[in-house]
Chains A and B, each alone.
Chain A
């Protein structure tokens, strides 16, 4: 996806171009070419507000229609209620045809019509169920809604519709998990049906903003889906699978984009840090045996291979500091194998109850130091602050998780707090100096 300039950057460019022309830095042709190049992106930015307002309006109208129907107008007969159920669906279908014919290029119209269509599909199924007293399964209702809505997203190219479909899929998955239905095993297939739309979108420069919104939807929905889908496998396989997934997300979503354009990296870094911290606790480990389960093994191998590929790419690209966090799955695997080899972590006879916690604590500490050093050397405050935050969180976790004396804990807090202040002060000074010299 091409790097997107922010609206204020575009405004600045527009103000500067005449001056550059006057000063002879740019020829009038070059200035005109630059104006044309960035005009469409300026248009997209301006359109965003309109699109958001239209989408929000469509959602409110749709939710209002559903609530109105949910009131249950039992004084109307079955035929009247049936017509009422199908009427909004028919109207939004006609609007969808009109949108394709006349307003295909208007994102605001596409978004609001698609949002309205999706909500009216739900309203129609719900009202028919209400009219005919079909108790039915809520999971089945959500899945039907998702299946009937997703094609509309492809045809009307709607970011709102994409989010609604991802939400419907998550709600269905959560309910299916709660009811332990066999259908949950098909979750990856349903999720996979949403991916081609994003792939198509990211290759189109005229849909850059929507591609970003949908990337966020994917980055949030994928780990939730993985969590729901893996519910049936032994929980001891989770640390490796999830650390491998988040590490791969962190490594593969690296580009020139700002952090908001790299949700997989951002979510990966945050979730990996949280997992590291929770695994460094004494009770962060599940004690039953892990990899004897077929699905657990398969999921571990699949995520492990993706993670390995990501590691290789990172090494080729020489982004070594990322490995400080991204090697977590390897450490987790080593710790688990150590536990399996030397007995259960809870086995007092072998006295290795502290082993997993100790290994992960030391590794987290090492990762923090690498991030701090990298952040200071390369003057990247984001890396530095992530390292400091992780270090601070580790100190807080250990405060509650260990039996150290209060004096020692106090000294540790002062040290970490002092580190925060000194490193930030030094880095900010260095960055300013560097800026002046440049």
Chain B
């Protein structure tokens, strides 16, 4: 007769293996249904992850924020806050765009739209600005759609600065990520470009291209 212990252990392991993805699903479904919807103005480019596929990497206007009270950024050599966690509480403005309501070093006691972030650069030249990473910096897309999304986005948001002749991102209200934030969890619902979800925009462009082909063909 087979010993029961390996089966019991494998059963426990199987439950844990399923529980991890299941807990991810529950946490993000909860954030999508109960969280505060916030819009984050974005810029993006198109890299690749071997496991999760093609995505557009997001940059946010809110990634550089004024340093919080009580955190002194001194002489440029101090990196004591570099890569340290901070808790940022957000609030929507009148148009639903995210604004920073508070930044603390301790985890907030009350529930609400706050996130844990990492300080990536505390040595900013003016000593009053820090760079943070937001935990929703990737938008996964279909393999063929991601490069096209990047092209559309560049058309919609980049311009050449006449003074420096360098390309720069123009932050505007038409390009943003719609994110539901609840107690440290951020679930991204949509990536909006030119006021439309990117998938819808891509579908629309594809339909227009087909129609145009049909009209031009004899």
Contact = CB atoms under 8 A, between A and B. Distances in A.
Contacts of A355: none
A132 interface: yes
Residue among B52, B136, B188, B199 with max Cβ neighbours from chain A (10 Å) = B52
A135 B143 contact: no
A97 to B, nearest CB: 6
Interface of B: 2, 6-7, 9-11, 13-14, 16-18, 20-22, 24-25, 28, 49-54, 58, 83, 135-143, 145, 187-188, 199
A138 B57 CA distance: 14
Contact of B135 (A93, A136, A141): A136
Shortest Cβ-Cβ A-B pairs, 9 listed: A70-B53, A135-B138, A133-B188, A126-B51, A132-B28, A130-B140, A93-B14, A135-B137, A130-B52
Nearest to A127: B52
Given A129-B24, A132-B187, A155-B10, A100 B138 contact: no
Interface residues of A, dominant DSSP: helix
Nearest to A154: B9
Contacts of A180: 83
Given A93-B18, A126-B51, A130-B140, 19 more contacts: A70-B51, A70-B143, A71-B143, A72-B54, A72-B141, A74-B145, A74-B199, A89-B18, A93-B14, A100-B7, A124-B17, A128-B24, A128-B25, A129-B52, A133-B188, A134-B24, A135-B58, A138-B49, A148-B16
A337 B7 CA distance: 57
A420 to B, nearest CB: 45
Contact of A85 (B21, B50, B145, B199): B21
A66 B51 contact: yes
Contact of B28 (A96, A134, A144): A134
A71 B20 contact: no
A82 interface: yes
A101 interface: yes
B199 A70 contact: no
Interface in A47-97: 66, 69-74, 82, 85-86, 89-90, 93, 96-97
Contacts of A73: 142
Residue among A72, A97, A180 with max Cβ neighbours from chain B (10 Å) = A72
Given A74-B199, A155-B6, A126 B52 contact: yes
B201 to A, nearest CB: 13
Given A70-B51, A72-B53, A151 B21 contact: no
A133 B9 contact: no
Given A129-B24, A148-B20, A70 B2 contact: no
A125 interface: yes
B20 A144 contact: yes
Contacts of B137: 135
A1 to B, nearest CB: 24
A93 B143 contact: no
Given A96-B10, A101-B2, A128-B25, A74 B20 contact: no
A330 to B, nearest CB: 37
A121 B24 contact: no
Interface string A139-178: 0010010001001100100000000000000000000000
A97 B140 contact: no
Contacts of A89: 17-18, 21
A129 B20 CA distance: 12
A396 B138 CA distance: 49
A122 interface: yes
Contact of B17 (A72, A93, A101): A93
A210 to B, nearest CB: 17
Given A72-B140, A82-B25, A97-B10, A135 B135 contact: yes
A151 B6 CA distance: 11
Contacts of B20: 125, 144, 148
A181 interface: yes
A165 B141 CA distance: 29
Contact of B53 (A71, A133, A135, A179): A71
Contacts of B141: 72, 74
B136 A141 contact: no
Contacts of A72: 53-54, 140-143
A100 B188 contact: no
Contact of A100 (B6, B16, B21, B142): B6
Contacts of A179: 83
Nearest to B31: A132
B61 to A, nearest CB: 17
5 contacts: A72-B53, A96-B14, A129-B140, A132-B24, A148-B13
Contacts of A96: 10, 14
A132 B51 contact: no
Contacts of A132: 24-25, 28, 187-188
Nearest to A129: B52
A74 B198 CA distance: 12
Given A124-B21, A125-B21, A128-B25, A70 B9 contact: no
B198 to A, nearest CB: 10
Contacts of B13: 148, 151-152, 155
B53 to A, nearest CB: 3
Given A89-B17, A180-B83, A135 B136 contact: yes
Contacts of A129: 24, 52, 140
B112 to A, nearest CB: 20
A141 B9 contact: no
Contacts of A74: 141-142, 145, 199
Interface in A155-214: 155, 179-181
Contacts of A121: 17
Contacts of A70: 49-54, 143
